[in-house]
A = this chain, B = another copy of it.
Amino acid sequence: MPRVKYFKTDENAPTPLTFEIKRKVRFDELDPLGIMWHGNYASFFEEARVALGGHYGIGYLDFANNKTSIPLKKFYVDFMAPLEFNKTYTIKAILHYNPAARLDFEYEIYDEENRLMTTACSVHLMLDMGHNTVLVAKPEFFENFCKKWREGSLNA
């Protein structure tokens, strides 16, 4: 089970959903010190988040098609070791269950020796794109998704 760091664990919550991608640090992502510039981590985490969404069927377009956007409320990153040019890292996205209409994501970056380089979290609200208002209740398509999650019937 993924290590929870940024969110409190609810023992009755369904198991977090996880997904991993691999990504190489490109030349244009380096800063003058030759390590990855810290602003580029947002793209690493987002790529893993988008891949998790695509895998489980709650991707960016699923939300958009349901006129819901998921703006960030919070984005926290802790750096243990720098990422280096041309090396490939594993980025793990972890979606924690939340009873409210929000997404609690956690992230971990590992190097090829499986050392933990970075941890992070992002919290996303849900916004009705038509009325530009924050949703208090989960939109129907997402509640259906959560129901399957609680029942353990999501395709993994």
Contacts and interface: CB of A to CB of B under 8 A. Distances in A.
A77 interface: yes
A143 interface: no
A32 B33 CA distance: 6
Each complex incorporates copies of this chain amounting to 4
A28 to B, nearest CB: 5
Interface stretch (A10-18, A65-73, A95-103, A145-153): A65-73
Interface string A61-95: 10000000101111111110010011000000000
A43 interface: yes
Nearest to A39: B42
Nearest to A121: B76
Q: How large is the interface on A (under 10, 10 to 19, 20 to 34, 35 or more residues)?
A: 20 to 34
Given A69-B33, A79-B73, A86-B54, A26 B47 contact: yes
Determine chain A's interface SS by DSSP, over half rule: mixed
A31 to B, nearest CB: 7
Contacts of A40: 39
B86 A50 contact: yes
Given A32-B32, A39-B40, A46 B27 contact: yes
Contacts of A76: 74-77
A35 B69 CA distance: 12
